[in-house]
Structure 1
Amino acid sequence: MGDYLVKALGYKDNVRLYTVNMTETIREIQEKLDTWSASTAALGRSLIATALFSKKLKGEERLSIQVRGDGLGGAIVTEGTADGYVRGYIAEPHLTLPPNDKGKIDVRRVVGTKGSITVVKDLLMKEPFSGQIPIVDGELGVDFTYYMAVSEQINGAMGLSVYVDVDNSVISAGGFMIELLPGADEETVNELEVILNQLPALSDFMSANPKPEDLVKEIFKNTDSHILSQEAIAYRCNCSKDIFARGLISIGEKELQAMIDEDHGAEAVCHFCHNAYQFTEEELRDLIHVIQEKKARNEGSED
C-alpha cells in the first residue's frame, strides 16, 4: 500500500489525532524537483503539514500554504486537496547544510526565523479563508502548532519529520496533528504533554515504525482509542498547457508580441513538477487573437 493518513479519537473521544506516512510521496517530489537534503527536509515538512490540514477539507475544497522566511531556502509553496493529493516547491532546491546541534538537518536555517506563514483555504465560497502568522521557530512543527491556536482557535500540537540520509535518500517522512476537543480536561492535556515529551525523535520512531497506526498507538498508549478512517495520500500536479495559456493571455498583447519578435515562441515551466510547455509563434498569435476578441466584445458592450 502507498502513503496514507489515519484519523483516530482517544481520551473518551475528546482528542482527535491524525497521523501520516508520506515517505513515497516525498521521494517522488524529491526526484521530480531534484531537491537536495536540506531543501527536501524543509519542503517535505510543509507538504506533510499540508496533507494533515487538507484532511479537514471536504469535496472539491483545497488549500495552499506559503512559507516566506529569511532562510536560505527562500519561499516554500505547497498545495493540498480534500482527496489527499499534494504538490509543492521550494525556491532554492539545492541546499545541503551541516547538521544542527541535535545532529539533525538544520531546517531552521532553510526556513529562517523571521517572516510569515500564510494558509489559504478555498472553501468554494465567494472569498477564500486566509490566515497568517509570523514565523516563531523555523522548524515548522512549532510554527504550524502556533497557527492552529492563533488562526483556527484549535488547541493541539503538530509534529513533522523528514529523515534524509547522507546519500540524499529519503528514509522516512511523516507526522501527526493533535486536536483537543471541547471535552478535553486538564488531566488529559498534561498526560499528552508528558507523552509527547517522552516520544522518541519522530524520524527515528517512524523509520522503525512506518505505519501511521503505530504512531496512534504510541500517542494514545494510555487511553482508549479507535481509528475512524484510513485515507490515501499521494503527489499529483494538475498543471496543463491550457492553464499556462491562460497565464500568457493575462500578461497582455504587447508582451506576447515581444515573445514572437524576439524569441519566436515561448516556454513555460511548472514550478511544481518542472514540466515544460512549448508555445509556437502561431500559438502565441492565437492567444493575441483571443485578447483582441475579448477587447472588442468589451468595447461593444459599452456602446
Structure 2
Amino acid sequence: MEEQKVKKWLAGVGTGILAVFLLTACGSGQTSGDTNEGNESSTKIIQVTTTTGQVADVLKNVGGDQVEVTSLMGPGVDPHLYQASQGDIQKLNNADMIFYNGLHLEGKMGEIFEKMSEDKTIVAVGESIPEALLLAADGDSNAHDPHVWFNIQAWIHAVDTVEEELSKQSPENEELFKDNAANYKQELEEMDQYAKEQIQTIPDESRVLVTAHDAFAYFGHAYGLDVMGLQGLSTDSEYGLKDVQGLVDTLVERNIKAVFVESSISEKSISAVVEGAKKQGHDVVIGGELFSDAMGEEGTEEGTYIGMFKHNVDTIVSSLK
C-alpha cells in the first residue's frame, strides 16, 4: 500500500484499530536474539516489554542482567484507561517477549495483545495464578478481580511463570533464572510476614480500608481488613452522589477516621467523601497516598514492588493504628 493511501486510510479509523494495523504494518524489528549468519549463536540479552511496573519488577528480579525490561506504564498511570501510543506499539513490536497482568486490567490493549500473539511470546502473568487464589469481580462470577499483586502468596505464582517463560526463551540461563526467582520469592515471603505482623497492630474495629476505587480486595483478604472503594474494580466505572453518600454513612456509622487517596487516581472522589462526612459532623482525614495500579518513581524505594508494598503497609498502619 502506498504511503499516501495509508495515511488517508488511517485518518478514518479509531485508536484501537490504528494500533492493530500498526502492529501488522510495522512488522517485527530486529531482536536481541538475532545472530550473524555463519557465526555461532551466543547468549543474547532478552528484550522484554511489560505493561505495569509490578510486572516489570518481576522480570527485572528474575531475569537479572540477561533481560532488558521496558515498562509502558510508569508512575501515576492508570492501566484501566491506558491507550497505547504509536511509540508503545513500536516497543511492543521490538520486544522478544511481552508480559502483562491480564484479567482485563489492561482492558483497552486486549486487541493488540491478541494480534501480536501470532508472532511472539505474550504472557498474562495474572492468568497463570491458580483460580482458587483469585477473587471474583463484583456482579460477575465469570470474571476475576485483576489486582492480584496485592496478595503476595498469589503473586509468587506470577514469579514462577516468569521464570518458566524466560527459561524457555533462553534455556542456557535456566539455572540463573531459577536462582534469581528463589531469592526474589524469599524477599516476598519476608514482606508478606512483615505485612501480617504490622496489620495485626491495628485495633480490630479500625481495620477498615477506604480508597478511591476497589483495588485492595486481595490486600484486605490476605491481611484481614474490610475494604471499601468508591468506584468499582475499574476506574472506568462511574460513581454518583448515591455512592458518595453510602460511603459517608458507613464512615459515620463505623466511626472510621481515615481514608486514602491513590497515586494513579484524582483526589476529587475521596475529597467528596471527606466533605460529606464533615457535613454530618464526622471528621475524617486523608491518611496518606497509597500505590494501587502504579508504583513509585524509578530509582526510589517505592519504585520497586517490595518498596511499594511496604510503603502501603506503613501508611495504612500509621493512619489506622
TM-score using structure 2 length: 0.24
Normalized per residue, which structure has more strand? 1
Bigger relative contact order, structure 1 or 2 (CA pairs below 8 A, ≥6 apart): 1
Normalized per residue, which structure has more helix? 2
TM-score using structure 1 length: 0.25
